[in-house]
Amino acid sequence: MARSSSGSDQDGPVAPLTAGVAPSLLREMNQRLLLDRLFTAGPATRPQLARTAGLSQPTVIAALDDLERAGLVTAGAGGGRRLGRPAKLYAANPTAGSVAGIDIGRGWLHLRVADLLGDTLSELSVRNTAKSAAALVELTARSLEEAAEKAGLSAGSVTHTAIGSPGVLDPRRGGVRYAANLPGWHQAGLAQALADRIGPAISVDNDANLAALAELTYGAARGLKDVAYLTVGSGVGVGLVLNGRVYRGFTGAAGEVGYLPIGERSSTARAGRAARGMLEEAVAADAVVRYARQAGLTGRITAERVFELAHHGEPRALEAIAEEGRQLALAVASIAALLDPELIVLGGRVGQNLDLLEPAITAALREVTPMRPTLVAGELGEDAVVRGAIARGTILARETVFTDRGAASG
């Protein structure tokens, strides 16, 4: 069954146990500690690991021997010399498992397959032509098979698949709430359908949460603790990082800012889709097109085309972008007032154009709030969600290979 990355799931290290523990559990804890150190900090010698982990040399030697027998670490020369002999250099084995990350959007599916270090083995982008949930499940499964084959793997051999999509997985019904732009994605049994077609080792998370995790891990928010990632594309959402962890709220719906009562009242739900929120109607990509038409642009217009024309100084496009910025400022002001983050990162097909949007956002903020939040464009662009899926998936895949290979039993 698919797992939702919400509730008690962790995106960071688990707090150490402080009570007395059985020797077998202590042995396992030491192995996990050293394996995590090798994955996150890179190769090290036994003395280096003993110092950084605070363990004795015999404890480190025993744990590394168990991990090496399980195929989770490798040992080789290259750690300098000790008493005339080369010191062994230990490294986590990135080929002990694999992870797939999938970004499911209204227009495209972006897929990446990586090893346990998160290094890319293959990438694939597929246009989303699905008109129903069943068709999208099938398209996702076939695309994963193709991406895995490009990586020299079979889809069934991928250790963990992390999926990002709009909305919030409802663990009771197995559907995704608040995914207004994906037809039928809210239907009960969706998570089971994905698990049946792809395999049980999957997790489903909100795309903005994964994008926030990616920017925290690889991008514009590195080293920060309190960050909001505002994604604006075909939909709108916020990924929240509070005290260094992704925050999902009581039901997982934290950051569903598309439903903020900003703008005009939402239109009625379309057939097979949930109703969109007021803010989403006011600032998503189709709103940019609407503002451009109101400004007098004609012909075939897309949000990308409006920004392209604005970059060339087209007055009507600039007018549309200014209106978009004014509407976005209300969302930014709300985020700043509620959370006071160190940084607000803008991403998505619309949000990544901060160079054009910022003047209007800044001017509008002066009118509605004394707060001056720091805004930056995301560094990862359209890769943010899939890279966040890889970051999330590697944590779960490493846990799986550790458990499956039974290192603790020696």
* Four-residue CA torsion sign, 274, 275, 279, 282: positive
In this prediction, residues 265-276 reach a mean pLDDT of 56
Residue 168 has pLDDT above 60, yes or no: yes
Sketch the domain layout of the chain as residue ranges. Answer: 24-92, 96-210+385-403, 220-378
Give the model's pLDDT for residue 179.
Answer: 86
**How much of the chain, in percent, has pLDDT values that exceed 90?**
77
Question: What does the mean pLDDT of the chain come to?
Answer: 90
Phi/psi of residue 389, nearest 5 degrees: -65, -40
Residue 329 near residue 365 (C-beta atoms within 8 A): yes
In this prediction, residues 261-276 reach a mean pLDDT of 63
The pLDDT tens digits for 193-208 are 999 999 999 999 999 9
* Alpha-carbon distances of 370 from 194, 228, 285, 336, rounded to whole Å: 46, 19, 28, 10
Residue 73 has pLDDT above 70, yes or no: yes
Give the model's pLDDT for residue 11.
Answer: 63
Residue 182 has pLDDT above 70, yes or no: yes
- For domain 96-210+385-403, the question of CATH label 3.30.420.40 is answered with yes
Residue range 220-378 forms a domain whose CATH class is alpha beta
Q: What pTM value is reported for the model?
A: 0.85
- For domain 24-92, the question of CATH label 1.10.10.10 is answered with yes
In this prediction, residues 350-359 reach a mean pLDDT of 97
Q: Do the first three CATH levels of 96-210+385-403 and 220-378 match, i.e. the same topology?
A: yes
The dihedral formed by the CA atoms of 93, 94, 96 and 102, expressed in degrees to the nearest 10: 160
